[in-house]
Amino acid sequence: MPAKRGQEYFTISVVSGMFNIHPQTLRLYEREGLLCPERSAGNTRLYSRQDIEQLSTILNLTREMGVNLAGVTIIMDLLRKLREVQEEKQVLLAMREVLEARLAASPPRQSTSA
């Protein structure tokens, strides 16, 4: 997928320098599915701000908390699922507000008991 115009991207050498890691570490994280950088037309890895935030989380888990890559994979998947659930919750809350507004605006129902 080509990089989107107007967004800021960083090459593998810049990112590895930012975090003081070897470029092979970034390639490993990509092979493991932890990072998915975009590619330029020349197939150069291009890391977005979101990729860099994700890398920061990965490095915090491995360096500071001692989590291995299998654990990082599980944690990152759980974080992704949590974000999806939170987004779904927001959609449902918005739907609830709309339904409550419609209910409040509708005329009261008449009882049809005999």
The total of structural domains in the chain comes to 1
Is 0.85 topped by the overall pTM? no
Give the model's pLDDT for residue 92: 98
Q: Are 73 and 30 in contact (CB under 8 A)?
A: no
3-state DSSP call for residue 62? helix
Query: Is there a domain that residue 17 lies in?
Result: yes
In a domain, 7, yes or no: no
Tell me which of 111 and 70 has the higher pLDDT: 70
- Domain housing 64: 12-104
- Go through the chain and tell me how many residues it has: 114
In the chain, alpha helices (H):
12-19, 23-31, 49-59, 69-105
State the CATH number of the domain containing residue 22. 1.10.1660.10
Question: How many CB atoms neighbour CB 53 within 10 A?
Answer: 10
Token output for 66: 């001692």
Beta bridge partners of 45: 39
pLDDT digits 0-9 by tens, 57-110:
999 999 999 999 999 999 999 999 999 999 999 999 999 999 999 999 988 877
- Span 26-35, pLDDT tens digits: 999 999 999 9
